[in-house]
Structure 1
Amino acid sequence: MRVLSLLSLFVFGIVAWAADAPTELKIETTYAPESCPVKARKGDKIKVHYTGTLFDGGNKFDSSYDRGQPLPLTLGVGQVIKGWDEGLVGMCEGEKRILTIPSNKAYGSRGFGSVIPPNSALVFETEMVSIDSVSKDEL
């Protein structure tokens, strides 16, 4: 009986540990195209489809798919949260990644309106739709 109790505590501890909010950006590639002639880099104008959920609870708060339009942005210039500026670098057109973003690389202690509570870690399923690459001279 004592062994069973200890085993239960051990398993519960692992589950609780696994559910802790991330402290660093985690990038998981879920699809990589066979050909990748251009990789996204700072300064590129890109279009990204995404679905954003809260790390705690998994509630969806936004999705470009719902609007039927990818989000256009210039990568690495602060137009989006830091987790995106870092997590989308190196992606190929057609590539899909899951970005698990700690609060300090998302909206931090301010949150975002009533949609994202303060100090929330976020999870984004992303798909690189297009890359308009800048030349080295333009950087």
Structure 2
Amino acid sequence: MKKPTKAKLRARAADRVAFAEGVRRDYLNWKLDPIRTDSGLGYLIHEAGTGIRPRPGHRVEVHYVGMLESREGIFEESFSNPRGVRFVVGAGEIIPGWDEAMGLLRWGDEATLFIPSAQAYGPQGRGKAIPPNSDLIFYVEIVSVG
């Protein structure tokens, strides 16, 4: 498989960031109504995948754009890199909102997650990028499940 060029990665990242920021804007303007779980996690599937649904113990790779609900701009994105973030579902390697969301999505899904602070970094936040008690929004693409 041919490795994507840096220019292609930057272009892909810019496209995904613009899309994610548009979803955030629509959500804050009450134009979207995500599905909600009992934990408060919300999600919208933009493009449905046809692959398997990750279960605890599955290793997944996910590309993402991370944003604070409370302000414009992103705090992190993975689309500038050839590989997304990899983690084992249910192993506590990632924030609880992501672990829960993986069980609701499928390989190939493109979705936006609306994660309440309690399912993210809570009162401690994460450095300067994510203040305490921040609700987060992630645009995600599930790249692989295994």
1: distance between equivalents of 2:84 and 2:104?
18
Q: Separation in 1 of the partners of 2:90 and 2:75?
A: 23
Q: How does 1:66-77 map to 2 (within 5 A)?
A: 66-77=80-91
Taking only the aligned residue pairs, the percentage that are identical comes to 34
2:44 alignment counterpart: 28
| Equivalenced residues, count | 112
Q: CA deviation at 1:59?
A: 2.2
Q: Given that residues 125 and 134 in structure 2 are in contact (C-alpha distance below 8 angstroms), is that contact kept between their aligned partners in structure 1?
A: yes
Alignment of 1:47-86 (within 5 A): 47-86=61-100
Q: Which residue pairs with 1:105 in the alignment?
A: 119
Q: What runs of 5+ residues in structure 1 fail to find an aligned partner?
A: 1-15, 133-139
TM-score, normalised relative to structure 2 = 0.71
Bigger shift: residues 119-128 or 63-72: 63-72
The structure whose Rg is larger is: 1
What stretches of structure 1 move > 2 A for 4+ residues in a row?
none
RMSD (Å) for aligned C-alpha atoms? 2.1
List runs of 5+ in structure 2 lacking aligned partners. Answer: 1-27, 31-35
Residues in 1 aligned to 2:105 and 2:63: alpha-carbon distance in whole angstroms: 13
1:33-54 deviation line (CA, Å, top 9, x unaligned): 3x33x21111100100000000
User: Aligned in 2, Cα 1:86/1:56: closer, same or farther, shift over 3 Å?
Assistant: same
Q: Deviations over 1:38-93 (max 9, x none)?
A: 21111100100000000011320010112332111101111000000001214222
1:119 aligns with 2:136: no
User: Residue 122 of structure 2 contacts residue 133 of structure 2 at CA under 8 Å; is this kept in 1?
Assistant: yes
**What is the one-letter code of the residue matched to 1:105?**
Q
| Residue 17 of structure 1, CA deviation | 9.9
Q: Give me the TM-score of the superposition, normalised by structure 1.
A: 0.74
